[in-house]
Amino acid sequence: MFSGRFDHAIDSKGRVSIPVRFREVLQKAEFDRLFITNFMLDNEPCLELYPPDEWWRLVAKIRQRPSFDRNMQLFQTFYLGGAHEVEVDRQGRILIPPKLRQFAHLDKDVTFSAMPDHFQLWDKATLERVLGDAMKNFSDPNFLNSLGL
């Protein structure tokens, strides 16, 4: 399981170091590759990165859905069609494909953010804006109730 948020920098070649805590999770499972794809949250672009087992679990769930459903086709075209398999090098870095860097507006300062079974990569300023908006929800007493927590 991944946890935490970590700021990093992308180098001039488009490489970024995976946070040590995330690398430890990947190394324990003996993963040296990730699947990376585009994602949107509240109309803000970011990238999602999955260990192979979680990626294939997601793909299996998608295969169980009606393939001729328009929303599923749009999702598959955007999410699966945008995915790349990337290698984690010996220094714990990945090379982010140029199209994905461009999509998520990743220039230099980025933030990794944990999800239960994968993690996200954000432009740092964009994530700060999204988190500011998210914090507003916590002042609404119905927000956590709507989540069932």
Q: How many folded domains does the chain comprise?
A: 1
Each residue's pLDDT tens digit, 85-137: 999 999 999 999 999 999 999 999 999 999 999 999 999 999 999 999 898 88
Buried/exposed code over 71-99 (b: 16+ C-beta within 10 A; e: otherwise): eeeeebeebeebbbebebeeebbbbbbee
Range of the domain at 72: 5-147
Each residue's pLDDT tens digit, 32-69: 999 999 999 999 999 999 999 999 999 999 999 998 99
Q: Which two tokens stand for residue 59?
A: 């793909």
**DSSP for residue 78:** I
Lowest mean pLDDT among 27-31, 42-46, 52-56, 140-144: 140-144
Find the CATH number of the domain harbouring 51: 3.40.1550.20
